[in-house]
Amino acid sequence: MNYRFRLIRIFTFLGGIYFFLQYVLPAKLGPFTFGKYHEEISNGFILMGAMAVGLGLINLLMVHGSRLVFRRTGWVNSAALLLAMALMIVITAADWLRTQKIAAQAAGLDMLAQFSRRISSDYQSQRTDVLPFWERNRLLLEAGSSQLAVVYESLEAAANLAGRSTDPALKTRLSAGLQETAAHLKETESLLKELELESSTASSMSPNEDLARALGRLQVSWRELLGLQYASSITRKVYDFLYQGLFMSLGAAMFALLGFYIASAAYRAFRLRSAESGLMMAAALVVMLGQIPLGVWIWYGFPELRLWLLQIPSTAASRAIEMGAAIAGLVMAFRMWLSIEPESFR
């Protein structure tokens, strides 16, 4: 037995026993905690899956790249595929970067809110290993002022966009977003000014609590506004066109083809060639008649008969198939786990 196979065998066995015990045993059993590194292990699998996506990409590049380079039959299709792939990668990356940037910008306000809340809680729990609350409030004021300046700038940009926009729906949404964000901004500014900045022995800390809540509200409305601004950018429009406009529509078109294929497949299946196909046709006829009003008009018992056919013989057969497959799958999984495999797979 070579080392490669031995290594695979060991990893398979350990992986199998880990997932089995992780499912069977409680989270904590004596000194052992089985689920302790479950997230890390699951992340490892995700990582492997991500690496496998790279395999797919390499395969596509090799198959279609060589066809393009050597001008083999269908090279134009390959060129279109590679071009579309490259375009989609670039646009998706740009979209991802932009949404990340929006999230990061909004997260700045969230951090300030958390800081404000922390100043209050630390004061109430009388922590002594941190700066006094008034000094921390000064820092909060400094950071908050610079963050609000960024919000102001983006409000100006949004107002310009609303002025330029020819899309009435977008214009309305931008104006509403602007109004809401401006109101929250004003509220936050006034609360920042109310922070206690002088040394004091007693404080209610209510301005900090109020500021934290106001920053939270500002964060939500500003994020929505940034999203609206981004929605009208060229990147987003190209992304929407490629993904929603082309990809999703083409997928739906493929799905719609099923309707025609079902008709042609049904025609072939219902040609009376044997007793079995006759039986199948009779059953299908009853099911169809039970489904439509015409069937009830012919005989009122069709819907009930249809239901019986679907619920009793059909369900029984379906369960038998599923059960057989489940047992066979379990046995196969067991063989995989213990690496009891035929020579051909070693």
Partner 1 sequence: MTGLEHATLGVLLLIGLIIGPVLVYIERARRDRNLYVRRLPGVDAIDEAAGRSAEIGKPLVFTSGLTSIGPILYACLGVLFYVARKAARYKLRLLAPQCDPTVMAVIEETVRDAYRSEGRLAFFDPQSIRFLSDEQFAFAAGYMGLVQREQIAAAFLFGSFAAESLLLAEAGQQVGAMQVAATTSPEQVAFFICSCDYTLIGEELFGASAYLSREPVQLGSLYGQDRAKLVFMVLIVIGVLIATWNQSLAPYFWGPGAGLIPDVMYWLHYELWAT
Closest among 285, 173, 163 to 226, alpha carbons compared: 173
User: Minimum CB separation from partner 1 for residue 290, in Å?
Assistant: 17
Residue 28 host element (H or E): strand 28-29
Q: Distance between alpha carbon 145 and the CA centroid of its chain, in Å? A: 35
Enter the tokens of residue 127.
Answer: 């922590």
Cα–Cα distance for residue pair 130/128, rounded to 1 Å: 6
Could you tell me which stretch among 55-63, 124-132, 133-141, 216-224 binds partner 1 (CB under 8 A)?
55-63
* 60 interacts with partner 1 by CB under 8 A: yes
* 313 interacts with partner 1 by CB under 8 A: no
Cα–Cα distance for residue pair 287/24, rounded to 1 Å: 44
Cα–Cα distance for residue pair 221/55, rounded to 1 Å: 42
Residue spans of alpha helices (H) in the chain: 3-24, 38-69, 75-124, 133-164, 168-193, 206-231, 234-240, 249-269, 275-291, 293-298, 302-309, 315-338
Q: Which is nearer to partner 1, 107 or 326 (CB)?
A: 326
* 328 interacts with partner 1 by CB under 8 A: yes
| Cβ-based neighbours of 61, under 8 Å, separated by 6 or more | 82
User: Minimum CB separation from partner 1 for residue 327, in Å?
Assistant: 5
Could you tell me which stretch among 101-109, 112-120, 223-231, 263-271 binds partner 1 (CB under 8 A)?
263-271
Q: Figure out which of the listed residues 44, 245, 251, 278 binds partner 1, where binding follows CB under 8 A.
A: 251
* 324 interacts with partner 1 by CB under 8 A: yes
Q: Figure out which of the listed residues 54, 149, 275, 293 binds partner 1, where binding follows CB under 8 A.
A: 54
DSSP state of 60: H
* 269 interacts with partner 1 by CB under 8 A: yes
* 26 interacts with partner 1 by CB under 8 A: yes
* 333 interacts with partner 1 by CB under 8 A: yes
Q: Figure out which of the listed residues 14, 63, 84, 90 binds partner 1, where binding follows CB under 8 A.
A: 63
Burial 96-134 (b: 16+ CB within 10 A, else e): eebeeebeebbebbbebbebbbbbbebbeeeeeeeeebb
* 334 interacts with partner 1 by CB under 8 A: yes
Give the number of residues in contact with partner 1, rule: CB under 8 A.
57
Q: Figure out which of the listed residues 69, 93, 97, 250 binds partner 1, where binding follows CB under 8 A.
A: 250
Q: Which is nearer to partner 1, 164 or 268 (CB)?
A: 268
Residues 109-138 interacting with partner 1 (rule: CB under 8 A): none
Cα–Cα distance for residue pair 115/126, rounded to 1 Å: 16
Q: Which is nearer to partner 1, 27 or 87 (CB)?
A: 27
Closest among 105, 119, 203 to 150, alpha carbons compared: 105
Cα–Cα distance for residue pair 91/237, rounded to 1 Å: 10
User: Minimum CB separation from partner 1 for residue 254, in Å?
Assistant: 4
* 282 interacts with partner 1 by CB under 8 A: no
Q: Which residues bind partner 1 (CB under 8 A)?
A: 23-27, 29, 48-49, 52-56, 59-60, 62-63, 66, 74, 247, 250-251, 254-255, 257-258, 261-262, 264-266, 268-269, 317-318, 320-325, 327-336, 340-345
